[in-house]
Chain A
């Protein structure tokens, strides 16, 4: 399994091979993502019953949870790309890490904003400095730091190692966010959705599968588009340099 993943990574490190795969994949992910998202949002807003305790506001779950998953999953992808760049020197993995940063930061911000909006009718407050909210806010700032560092590194002609190290160091936050509701007595509820079981009733939970899948496909499409943009830019700059030398 791990060998297969590594050999796939090596195969995709070839820009021509990557583009051959990314070109047909991008529209498929885009259409699939928006379609699943539309079904999930429609179902979440109209086809599920209100929660016995939270009432109608539970419907924010269908967008808040995928945003949190992509905020954290995005950083995991960024860190894996950074490791691949440091270990194998794949130039595409550096581009992938940079391409993930903006959508990851956006979904982390969306998670914070939707959580705040959900908190007002549920907890009676927009914000609380508790473990989960504060650690998620820190992740957003860490994303901003990565983007600033990657830009500065590119501007001064750096080799990308410093942003890659920063990307790996940032993973420290992921278990803190995940276990913050267990380690500290927080206003945020404890873990209610796991890979194998959930404490939320199935009649309320099912549209979440659609929005999770939809947002994930959309995130992948956005990353692919940003990688294709970065690759085309590198190619255009190389062409300009060749022309200047000629």
Chain B
């Protein structure tokens, strides 16, 4: 079984979740601290 599609999916989920969390927290902080 080719493992690379599974590796790509796992990295996409993790980096995506971390990026969304960072962005949402940053925007919320900047908006209210303005």
Contacts and interface: CB of A to CB of B under 8 A. Distances in A.
Interface of A: 30, 37, 41, 45, 55-57, 59-60, 63-64, 67, 102-103, 106-107, 109-110, 113-114, 117-118, 120-121, 215, 218, 221-222, 225-226, 228-229, 232-233, 236
Contacts of B18: 37, 110, 215, 218
B22 A30 contact: yes
Contact of B29 (A37, A59, A121, A228): A228
9 contacts: A37-B15, A60-B7, A222-B21, A225-B28, A226-B25, A229-B28, A229-B32, A232-B33, A233-B32
A110 B13 contact: yes
Q: Which of A41, A57, A218, A233 gathers most chain B CB within 10 Å?
A: A57
Interface in B10-34: 10-11, 13-15, 17-18, 21-22, 25-26, 28-29, 32-33
A232 B11 contact: no
Interface of A is mostly: helix
A103 B28 CA distance: 14
B14 A67 contact: yes
Q: Which of A30, A113, A229 gathers most chain B CB within 10 Å?
A: A229
A221 B10 CA distance: 23
A118 B14 CA distance: 13
Interface of B is mostly: helix
A118 B11 CA distance: 11
Q: Which of A110, A215, A233 gathers most chain B CB within 10 Å?
A: A110
B32 A63 contact: no
B21 A103 contact: yes
B11 A64 contact: no
List 9 A-B pairs, minimum CB-CB distance, nearest first: A57-B3, A225-B25, A56-B3, A63-B14, A232-B32, A114-B10, A117-B10, A225-B29, A229-B29
B3 A55 contact: yes
A56 B14 CA distance: 18
A54 B32 CA distance: 48
A120 B7 CA distance: 11
A41 B6 contact: no
Contacts of A109: 17
B11 A63 contact: yes
B3 to A, nearest CB: 4
A60 B3 CA distance: 10
B32 to A, nearest CB: 4
A236 B3 CA distance: 51
Contacts of B3: 55-57, 121
